[in-house]
A = this chain, B = another copy of it.
Amino acid sequence: MTRDARVAGGAAEDKTTEYLLAPDDAAAVDAWWRAANYLAVGQIYLMGNALLKRPLAEEDIKPRLLGHWGTSPGQNFLYAHLNHQIIQRNLDMIYLSGPGHGGPSLVAASWLEGTYSEVYSHVGTDARGVDELCRQFSFPGGIPSHVAPETPGSIHEGGELGYVLSHAYGAAFDNPDLIAVAVIGDGEAETAPLATAWHSNKFLDPQVDGTVLPILHLNGYKIANPTIFDRIPRQELESLLVGYGHKPYFFEGGFDDEDITNTHRRFARLLAQVLDEVVDIRARAADGRLTERARWPMIVFRTPKGWTGPQEVDGLPVENSWRSHQVPMSAVRGNEEYTRLLESWMHSYRPEELFGPEGRIMDLVAQNNPVGTRRMSANPHANGGLLTRDLDLPDFRDYGVDVPVPGGATVEATRVLGGWVADVVDRNRQTFRVFGPDETHSNRLGAAVEAGGKAWQAELLDTDVDLSRTGRVMEVLSEHQVQGWLEGYLLTGRHGLLNSYEAFIHIIDSMFNQHAKWLDSSRDIPWRVPVPSLNYLLSSHVWRQDHNGFSHQDPGFLDVVMNKTADVTRIYLPPDANTLLSTFDHVLRTRNYVNVVVAGKQPGPQWLTMDEAVLHCTRGIGIWDWAGSEEPGSKPDVVLGCAGDVPTMEAIAAARLLRERLPELKVRVVNVVDLMRLQDEREHPHGLSHRDFDALFTADRPVIFAFHGYPSLVHQLTYRRTNHHNIHVRGFKEKGTTTTPFDMLMLNDLDRYRLVIDAIDRVGLAERESSLRQEMLDSRVRARQHTRKHGQDLPEVTQWVVQDGDNTQGSGAPGSDTGGDNE
Contacts and interface: CB of A to CB of B under 8 A. Distances in A.
Interface of A: 47, 62-67, 100-101, 138-146, 148, 157-162, 187-188, 190-197, 199, 202, 222-228, 231-233, 236-245, 317, 321, 325-327, 330-331, 438-442, 454, 456, 458-461, 463-464, 467, 475-481, 503-504, 506-507, 509-510, 513-514, 517-518, 520-521, 524, 546-552, 554, 556, 559-560, 562-565, 710, 712, 715-716, 719, 725, 734, 736-740, 743, 784, 787-788, 790-792, 817-821, 823
A478 B190 contact: yes
A252 B236 CA distance: 25
A510 to B, nearest CB: 4
A564 B737 CA distance: 15
10 contacts: A66-B819, A138-B738, A160-B551, A188-B477, A226-B464, A240-B240, A243-B243, A327-B819, A331-B819, A712-B716
Contacts of A139: 738, 791
A524 B787 CA distance: 21
A63 B560 CA distance: 37
Given A548-B144, A551-B514, A458 B231 contact: yes
Contacts of A548: 66, 144-146, 159
B549 A159 contact: yes
B239 A242 contact: yes
Nearest to A293: B232
Copies of this chain assembled into the complex: 2
A615 B546 CA distance: 46
Contacts of A479: 191-192
Given A146-B549, A548-B145, A520 B719 contact: no
A144 B438 contact: no
Contacts of A481: 190, 192
B140 A222 contact: no
A103 B499 CA distance: 26
Contact of A64 (B187, B549, B792): B792
Given A190-B476, A192-B194, 16 more contacts: A64-B791, A64-B792, A141-B737, A146-B548, A146-B549, A148-B550, A159-B552, A192-B196, A222-B438, A224-B439, A227-B477, A231-B459, A239-B239, A564-B734, A565-B734, A725-B725
B551 A518 contact: yes
A551 B138 contact: no
Nearest to A440: B224
A501 to B, nearest CB: 10
A228 B241 contact: no
B140 A509 contact: no
A739 B514 CA distance: 19
A473 to B, nearest CB: 10
A331 B819 CA distance: 7
Nearest to A326: B821
What are the 3 A-B residue pairs with the smallest beta carbon separation, nearest first? Answer: A240-B243, A144-B549, A66-B547
Contacts of A159: 503, 548-549, 551-552
A458 B232 contact: yes
Nearest to A66: B547
Contacts of A442: 223-224
B190 A232 contact: no
Given A478-B192, A551-B514, A820 B64 contact: yes
In this complex, the member of A191, A233, A321, A787 whose beta carbon has the largest number of chain B beta carbons within 10 angstroms is A191
A702 to B, nearest CB: 16
B232 A459 contact: yes
A27 B466 CA distance: 42
Contacts of A238: 243
A423 to B, nearest CB: 21
Given A477-B190, A556-B560, A223 B441 contact: yes
A376 to B, nearest CB: 21
B551 A64 contact: no
Nearest to A103: B549
Contact of A140 (B161, B456, B554, B739): B739
Contacts of A146: 548-549, 551
Contacts of A441: 223-224
Contacts of A227: 477
Nearest to A222: B438
Nearest to A203: B228
A548 B461 CA distance: 49
B740 A140 contact: yes
B190 A517 contact: no
Given A240-B240, A245-B236, A550 B521 contact: yes
B222 A202 contact: no
Contact of A242 (B243, B478, B518, B788): B243
A152 B425 CA distance: 47
Given A509-B509, A734-B564, A187 B477 contact: yes
B232 A239 contact: no
A361 B47 CA distance: 80
A509 B560 contact: yes
Contacts of A743: 140
Contacts of A820: 64, 66
A818 B551 contact: no
B563 A507 contact: no
A141 B788 contact: yes
Contact of A823 (B223, B331, B712, B716): B223
A29 to B, nearest CB: 30
A390 to B, nearest CB: 29
Contact of A438 (B67, B199, B224, B521): B224
A327 B821 CA distance: 9
Contacts of A556: 513, 560, 563
Contacts of A738: 138-145
Nearest to A439: B223
A792 B463 CA distance: 66
A197 B157 CA distance: 25
B226 A202 contact: no
Contacts of A546: 66
A506 B464 CA distance: 37
Contacts of A241: 243
In this complex, the member of A47, A160, A197 whose beta carbon has the largest number of chain B beta carbons within 10 angstroms is A160
A736 B224 contact: no
Contacts of A62: 791
In this complex, the member of A157, A195, A197 whose beta carbon has the largest number of chain B beta carbons within 10 angstroms is A195
B551 A478 contact: no
Contacts of A464: 226
A630 B197 CA distance: 60
B63 A477 contact: no
In this complex, the member of A162, A439, A441, A788 whose beta carbon has the largest number of chain B beta carbons within 10 angstroms is A162
B788 A222 contact: no
Contacts of A460: 231
Contact of A547 (B64, B240, B244, B478): B64
